[in-house]
Amino acid sequence: MKEVAIMSSNAKKAYVSLLSLLGLAFLLVGIFTAFEFTIGLILAIVCWVGSGILAKYWGVKKEKS
């Protein structure tokens, strides 16, 4: 038998948000520490693109308030 893990929409939003926040953390570390800026920028862009792809795949929409 196959088991299918079903995630709630809140859990999906949380994972996408955490991945985006991780990208911001990489960027800030690259700017304010001895960690090279270009590496921090590349890691941040990878995280942001990955979170966008994941959000599109899961159907997570941005909330407009």
One DSSP character per residue, 12-45 reads HHHHHHHHHHHHHHHHHHHHHSSS-HHHHHHHHH
- Residue 17: inside a domain: no
Instruction: For residue 52, count other CB atoms closer than 10 A to its CB.
Output: 14
- Residues 6 or more apart in contact with residue 9 via CB below 8 angstroms: 60
Give the pLDDT of residue 23: 94
Residue range 4-60, pLDDT digits in tens: 567 788 888 999 999 999 999 999 998 888 778 889 899 999 999 999 999 999 888
- Residue 13: inside a domain: no
pTM for the predicted model, two decimal places? 0.79
The structural domain count of the chain equals 1
Residue range 6-20, pLDDT digits in tens: 778 888 899 999 999
Structural domain for 49, as ranges:
34-58
Give the pLDDT of residue 2: 58
Both tokens assigned to 51: 């979170």
Tell me which amino acid residue 64 is.
Answer: K
